[in-house]
Amino acid sequence: MQGTRFAPDRGLTTRMVGTMFLIGLLYVVFVGVLVALLRGAWPFVLVVAGGLFVAQFWFSDRIAAFGMGAREVSPQEAPELHGAVDRLCALADMPKPRVAIADSDVPNAFATGRDQRNALVCATTGLLRRLEPEELEGVLAHELSHVAHRDVAVMTIASFLGVLAGIITRIGLWGGLRRVGGRDANTALIMVLVPLVSAVVYAISFLLTRMLSRYRELSADRAGALLTGRPSALASALTKVTGQIARIPTRDLRQAEPFNAFYFAPAVSRDSLSRLLSSHPTLEQRLDQLGRISTQLGRP
């Protein structure tokens, strides 16, 4: 937690360590299989994959901000948003992240960055327009807890490894085919095995990150509610955001869906048959947890 006042979560820490260990092990096996299949191309594959990983880790905040259309704003441009972040950072005893706004009617927020000193917190114009000050503080406390717990960095790395599987496969397959040449038996084997291995790696990585994502959202709700002492405000924000998202045009929601795992609330929710693939717990689960916290704190 790096000395912040956010409530620690050993369950989240255990899951983050376990997820990174399993994904790391998965990719050691994955690279080993590729090296065995594509002996002539493996140095190039490793160099490119390593370079992409380092770039993603160091520039994840800028990449995410660009992808979601976030624009960093000054205190003069967004005094209410900066004021809320200032109060929460003082309350949590943590460094203030950069503050951004995304010009989108989809009411949402996200945090990104590899650590507290390189973090960015962003709210959409749709969120700022719809929430009351206490509700906004609840959402921002939720996002700041992601930064404090460092689960946003773990999610960034874990999500990128799934993309990396596809990149490595394309590079490796291209290099392997050039090395083998022709349409012989080896070429046919490579064309079948490499995409198959990549698909398996991607599927396992996807499920691992989805399980971690659902737990980290519950953890952030809990930590944010305990920090502000107003779980009802966060519950109100959740209810309002979820209800408003349902009214947003499908085209706009589809544009936001690729970033679901990083948002406060999913742009596109899953039905009961596909919750295993969802990046967030259900609204009922989140509200039930906040209700129990309200009871513990003796607040309405």
SS3 at position 225: helix
CA distance 116 to 151: 11
End-to-end Cα separation, the chain, in angstroms: 29
Which residue in the list 72, 143, 257, 284 is annotated as catalytic? 143
- Please give the helix or strand (H or E) that residue 71 lies within, else none: strand 70-72
Instruction: Determine if residue 149 is labeled as part of a ligand binding site.
Output: no
- b/e string for 236-248 if b means 16 or more Cβ within 10 A? bbbebbbebbeeb
CA distance 277 to 257: 13
Residues 6+ apart with CB under 8 A from 264: 108, 109, 110, 127, 139, 142, 143, 241
Q: How many other C-beta atoms are found inside a 10 Å radius of the C-beta of residue 46?
A: 16
**Pick from 134, 151, 287: which is nearest to 211 by CA?**
151
Within a 13 Å sphere around the CA of 140, how many CA atoms are in the beta-carbon half? 33
Instruction: Determine if residue 217 is labeled as part of a ligand binding site.
Output: yes
Helix spans in 103-184 (H): 125-130, 133-149, 151-180
Reduced to 3 DSSP states, what percent helix, strand and coil does the chain have, rounded to the nearest 5?
Answer: 70, 5, 20
Active site residue 143: yes
CA distance 282 to 125: 24
Instruction: Determine if residue 280 is labeled as part of a ligand binding site.
Output: no
**8-state DSSP, 126:** H
Instruction: Give catalytic residues, as residue numbers.
Output: 143
Residue stretches of the annotated binding site for Zn(2+): 142, 146, 217
Residue stretches of the annotated binding site: 142, 146, 217
